[in-house]
Amino acid sequence: MAPRVPSGLIEFVGDSITVGTTTSQNARTAYGWLIGERLGADRTQIAQGGPALVDTADDRMSLEQQFTKLNPNAATPDWDFSRYQANAVVINLGTNDVGRGVSSAQFQASYTSLLRKVRTAYPNAWI
């Protein structure tokens, strides 16, 4: 039997939970990878352990800022979203914001900004 052709691309955006920090093989055993496998879909993971959604004073780039960057750890240009289009985007954030004392209003403002960036990058995707 021929392998199943992927039905679309799912992008997973998040922190250590999304990148699979505590799993046996990191990204390959994280929930995003496993969901893609089960659905027969291609997937990307825009995730890094530790950062919050909101920019805080801990010298880490926020995930709201990282979403558009080619490399969040260096001065690089924005990612070229014309290279591919996600059919769906799953966002799992907030754990690190709570630990850094981010207020609900700050979180909501950054989350709204991130959603605008996602919608601009992927105008037809399910979010």
pLDDT tens, position by position, 33-62: 899 999 989 998 888 888 889 987 766 678
pLDDT at 24: 79
Three-state DSSP class for 40? coil
- Quick count: other Cβ atoms within 10 Å of Cβ 57? 6
CB count within 10 Å of CB 76 equals 10
Q: Could you tell me if 44 and 86 are in contact, meaning their C-beta atoms sit under 8 angstroms apart? A: yes
Q: Six-digit token pair at 117?
A: 């960036």
Q: Evaluate whether 98 touches 22 at the Cβ level (below 8 Å).
A: no
* CA pair distance 13, 46, nearest whole angstrom: 5
Q: Which residues of the chain have pLDDT under 70?
A: 1-7, 58-60
Whole-model pTM: value is 0.84
